[in-house]
Structure formats: structure tokens, C-alpha cells
Chains A and B, each alone.
Chain A
Amino acid sequence: MANRTATEPAARVSQRQALWLLAASAASALPLLPGLRPAIAALAVTLLAISIGVWIRARALPARWIVFALVAGSTLAIGFAYRSLFGREPGVAMLIVFLALKLLELRTTRDGFTLVLLCYFLQLALLFDRQGPEIAAYLAADLILITAALIQLERDGQKMRSSIARASRMLAQATPLMLVLFVLFPRVQGPLWGLPRDAWAGMSGLSDTMSPGSIRELSLSAEPAFRVKFAGSTPPHAALYWRGPVLTHYDGRTWRAAPGAGSRTLPYETSGPAVEYTVTLEPHDKPWLFALDLPGLVPEGARVAPGYQLLARTPVRTRQRYAMRSYPGLAAGIDEPLAVLEAARRIPAGANPRSRELAARWRAEAADGDELAVVRRALEHFRREAFVYTLSPPLLGKNDGIDEFLFATRRGFCEHYAGAFVFLMRAAGIPARVVTGYQGGEPNPVDGYLLVRQSDAHAWAEVWIARRGWMRIDPTAAVSPSRIESGIAAAVPAGDPLPFLVGADAGWLRALRFRWEALGNAWNQWIIGYNLERQRELLTRLGMRDPDWRSAAAAMAVLTGVLLLVLAAWAAHEYRRQDRAARAWAAFSRKMARAGLARRPEEGPLDYARRIAAAAPGLAQRSARIAQLYAELRYGPHPDPGMQRELVLRVRRLKVSA
């Protein structure tokens, strides 16, 4: 029945409506612009500016063939800039450009509605890069704007305040439904199908190679790498070595991880005091799982690489939580195979002659077989000589980079020290390797989580000593002990570029920052990281026994139904309240009817009162007041609840004898 007139012609969009849609479109598109290729961002800004100009000056819209040509040209430009039209980044670029072009083709309200749908997709696109609470707040404000634009599209000429208020009210009413669906909607572990190759662009983290400068770059980022909740007390800062990729192969410039499938069980026996904790790992598009030296268990589905590094089955692309146990004092690898030790002594022939010479001298001076003496000698060297720990080391030459660093520049970051140290050890015939990972972390007193940032990325060394196995040696600690004891902020010289929030700051600012980061962590744990396991955990905590997707779906249906009923009751509620006046008036008419003065159907309140006054002068004054109140409530410009109360009271007190 409804579809008979459902095809009413779509109305033309007024300038006012177009400006609302422009505001909503701009608010949805602008935060995405920095993520585009500069040329495409410039194109999008130009197109948006043109549409804003056209609409503000109320100029005629360009002809369709011009818009079509612009669509074709923009598509070509995007294809050229991204070398593809498929994938996440070109997809977002296309959305933004089409949005801008649709504004130039905004003729009917149906076009306006298309723009609104495009805005929703852009909002989702914004979440690819960031999902923090600030983004949520921005999206909420943007949704109010989009909804208000939609309301304006439905009825032109409404006051700005009233449409914003209505949009906010509707979204507020939708929020309980959103919460129910969010908590109870059966969660599926994605992805549903193959994702475009660039789906995970923008994730940062340690790689499986190290060359001068690679970790320094990472240390400029304040992004969280992972968060740790210790079951007991947090170990001291200097003991927090989070093991990542172990690099054995050296080609004269770059260190690489040894290939190897790894095993499902630990290659060593665990003993001694253990530390229990839970890690919440940020996605970094690599399979590394970080654990304190040395990991004491292998998480479900994970493996242990030859260098005792934990690897997940697939690259970590969603936030992941795992329970972990570590044995800090453990020595491992006492009976390491000869092939492994041989690989850990290999250095490219010929390069860095001065370093080799230095190492050979130390070896000769040490007692035979006392490899630890050589290690001590090397650390002593770093401590004594004028080495500087800095975030801005000078560039090193292609060949003989270690010679250049050890004898000329002497300014370096952890990868310089770790790399040079391992080179010296190998030159002295001692098996050694580079271990990368994170060092330290910042305990948050608000929620008790230890936050490890990308800026805590670190590289250190391990040497193999007969009958003791692999020993951790951190040459950076020799140069800059405060880096290991207090963190990077205390270690680098003033003036070195440090990421915001990582530098040492004032007390109140620090307290504020802890609060903000605790909020961020709770947000990550419960909003962004809310997955199948979290859902099960929460439902169990809420008293649901053995929850699965069926019980969650049933609970969701029931709660959604209840909420809709509440809203429906609200839809009917106000009528009854206002209807008290009508009910009082009906009661008054009934009372009068008993006295033989029934109201005629067409009779207005004031006429009725006049007739009553003529027929029954005794009732004249009271019925005149009642009729006046009712007329005022019904038709008056300023009815107020006080009048309604008075009316109800007066009708109730009125006694009419038959």
C-alpha cells in the first residue's frame, strides 16, 4: 500500500541543505587527507574547495559531462599515484574524490542521501589508522553533524539548533542499542577473505634486520608496542629486556636473523625464580611475540626460533593478549651445536681492519681461554673512551663502518654499540650475536600496567661462554648506564629529538599523562581489543554459564527487544501526559451532561461555558474558568503545566447536582 506513492519525485536540494551536506562531508573527509598521497590530497582539497565555492556563491552546477570528465580524470590520477585502483589506500582516495565530485552534482535530495552514505564509509576508513578515544569523540561529533544534515535534508529551513538537538537526541537514544549489540553481537575472528596487500600499512615495529639507523628511527615514535601486567611486583627497569628478533648473519653492514622454522617446545630446561605476566601486544605486522629473557613457556600455536625468540603462527595484525612466564637468571645453550657457534663467529673477510686488530690484541692479552676477560676489556673500552650515546649519530660510510664508528665518530645509538661489540667479539673468536627487542617500559600507577613504547626499542648482544652458555651483554649500558636504569629520556643529551610524551616532564603533567594512558589502555583492552575471548570472559563474569555465540545472540535479541519496547513506550508516553487536559474536559462535560447540559459536538469550550452560564447561573463562574483554562491549554500560545494542574483540580472539585 505504501509503495503506491513511494516514488514521489525527489525534491531539489536548496543551498541551505547543500551547505549542511558540505559541512558534514568536509568533516568526514578532512581527517583522512593527511593519509593520502600528496598529489591526490591536493586534488581532493581542490575539488572540495570548488564545490564549496560553487555552493556558497549559489552558482549553477557544472554540466554533467564536466563532472563525468572529472570523475574519469580523478580515477586516472589515483590509478597513476597508487599504481592500482584496488586496495585500501586507493579505495579511500576514490571515496574522498567521489564525495567531492558528488557535491558538484548535488541536485536532488537523493543525491544528498548518497553523500550521507559516503560519509559513513569515510568514517569507517578513518578507523584503519587510528582508533583512540579521541577518534571516537571526533566521530561522534561528526555523526551528529551528518545526522543533522540528514534531518535538514528531510525538511528544509529548520533552525540549526533544533536539528542539532534532534540529531543528538536520536544518537543518544541509539547508544543503549549500540552498547547491547557491541557487547553481545557474536564476534567473528576476521578476516573473512583475503585482504589487499596494503591492508596493514602504517604498522610500525621491529624488523628482522638491523643496520645503523633502523632502531633509531623507531625510537622517535611514542606509539605503544605492548603493555604488560605483572602478576607480582614489577622487576627493576634494568632487568626488563624484552626479547625480539635475534640477528646472527652479518654482511658488513646489515645484521639479519638466522632462518629456521623453530620448535614447539623450549630447547632448554627451566629452573629458578619465575616472573608471571600478561602481554597485550599491539599489531605490528610481524610474528614476533615479546617476552622477558628468557621465556619459560610457548603460547598456544606459537613456536620458538633458534635464538629463543617466540614467534606467532601468523603476523600479529590485531591486538593480541597472551600469558607469559619468564626465568630471568636462566642460562641456556650450554651444549649449543658447533654449527651454530661457527655461524656466530663469522664476519666478512677484509673489512674493518683496525677493529680486527684491536680485538686480536685483547685476545692475545687475555689469559688463554678466559673469554670473559675479553668481554670485560671491550666494555671497559666503551666506558673509558669518549663514546657518546645519542639519537642523532653521524652517518657512517659503506665499508669499514665499524672502524669509522669505533675510531672516528664515536657517537652512536644502541644498534651501533651492539653491532660494534658483536663484531669485536667475533673478531676475537668469541661466538656472539645481536638481540633486538625492547628495554624498559614505563609503569603506570593508575592501572598498574607497564607500557613499552616503540621508543624503548633496543639492541644488545649475547656472547657464548663455554660451560655458561649464552650471556647477555649490553654495551650501551657501559656507555650510558642511565639508558638501561631509567630509560631513554634520561639517557640522551638535551636537545636530541625525542617523541612527545617520552621526554622527562613535570609532575602534574606526568600524572595527567598516566591517567590518559590508563584510559587509552582500558580503551584498547575493552573497546578496540574486544574479541571472541574478551566477549566470553565478560559474559562469564556477568554470570552466563559457558557462553557461546548462540546464548550471546539470544541475549542480544532479548535485550534489543526490551530496549525497543522502552523506546516505543516513550513514543506513546507524552500523549497520555498531555491528554490529562482532554480527560479533565471530558469529565467536565460528563458532569454537566448529568445536569442536562450536555456539550454539543461542534460546541467550542467558550461557547459551551456561555450556554451553561445562561442555563445555570450558579455554575457560571466556575465553568467559565474551566473553559478558559481548557481553551488556553488547547489553543493558547503559551500553555503551561500549572494551568493543566489547575484545570484537573477544578474539574475534580466541581459538584453538579442532577
Chain B
Amino acid sequence: MALTRWARREIVVGGVLALLAAAGAALAQPSAEQIMSRAHLATYYPGDDMRARVTMRLISRDGKERLREFVMTRRDLQEGGEQRYFIYFHRPPDVRDMTFLVWKYPGRDDDRWLYVPALKLVRRIAANDKRSSFAGSDFSYEDVSGREPDEDHHKLLKEERVGERPAYLVESIPKDAGSVDFGRKLSWIDTVTWLPLKEEYYDRRGELARVFTAEELKEVQGHWTITKRVMKNVQTGHRTEVAFGDVRYDQKLPPDLLSERALRAPPAELVR
């Protein structure tokens, strides 16, 4: 059946409008890659430097609790690029005064050093496996210092609220399946702060393995910060609750401060 000229014009106009609408939506809604890259910067790179007193509670299924307490300092050398991390442990007693230094390079393995105060020994640590547990917690090294967004394929599934906050729901599939312990990850990225409000890690069989939730967000010196977070291993029932206290940004720390010298004799600003 032939369409009338008028009707055809309707379709053309409608099509153009639809295209415009799609383009507008595309402008308002960034791509999955853009979302994950902004989330990466918002989570791991706010400010030029940052420090926090971190309390980690490791809680087993039956409620048995262990406490880890440390001061973590981060210094960025380039936004989105090289970083240095320094950690001074206060608790538990058998790691008290231990210091840990990481020089993080995008695209290749970190350099890591651990200082054992009882032996006055600086020990270089193998850093090939980022899945290792950080200090026995449910967080891996990669969770603490960040996974490069371009290591995964991302797909924007939809927008969905987490509690009151609107978020982008993004699915990430690792490009190299062997390098990580998850087969698929779902992230709910806050549309305002770009911080992850929730993450679900699925193992390679597709079963839900770990769930991350940001429990408290605070604005500190203009930077939105997750001050309370939980990582729960739903398969074992073990969870880790992390609180960031005394957060400070942009202290203008010289990058050289986070070096071997600080490992052996940490200056007061990296300890308290």
C-alpha cells in the first residue's frame, strides 16, 4: 500500500525528531566507558594527594571480629596516571609500625615494599597478583588502589536509583579473564559524584561472589569521599567494614616523601 506524501513527511519528521531525541539523550547520558573512566578518577584520584585514618573491621559469618587500623596516604604524580601509596599500620599489634609503600604505574606491575620493624628490614614484595587480599580483608589490592577501566569491556545497562541517589548501572566484563577473579561486575555509579554506590562481583560461573556498598558519602574540601564502605563475600558470609576518618586532601605533600626513607623512618605526617 502506497503512503500518501503527507504521511511520508510525517514519518520523516518523526524520524528526525527521534534521532534528535536520541542525540540529546546521548549528550545527557555519557557512554559506559566515559562513566567508568570518570568513576575511576573520582574514586582513586581526587585531589593531588589524600590521607585518611582507616579502620577495617573483618567480620566472619559467626560475628567474630578482627580490627586493622592504619594511616593511608596517596600522592598522584599525574591525574589518572602514576601514583604513590604509603600505609602505616597501627593495629593489630603484630603489624604495628609496619609500613608499606606502593609505586603504582598504569599499564604495568606496581613496585611494592614492606618494612618489617622488628627486623629493620625493607622487603620488596612481588606484585603480579592483584587479587591477593589486602591485609586479610575482603578487599583485594586492586580494590584498594584501583583497576584500570580499559582492562574491561563496559556496557551501560540502564539508570537505576540506589536508595535516593540516581545511578548508572554499568556491566563490566574483563578483557583478560585470567587476570581477575570475577567474570562479570555490575557497578552503580552515582550520577552526581561519580562514585560507585554499589558493585556486584560475579564469579566465572556467574554466581554472585562479592558485594560492595558505599554506606556514607561526605564532601571533604570539595571532594566527594566514600567515608564508610562494606565489602561482603556472599559465598562465605565474611565481610569487611571500612571507615575513613580524619580525611585530608591537597596537603601539598612532596612526591619524594613517599619513598624508602619514609619506610624506615616515617615522618609524623604519615603516621598520625
Please say whether chains A and B are actual partners in one complex: no
Binding site for A on B (CB under 8 A): none
Binding site for B on A (CB under 8 A): none
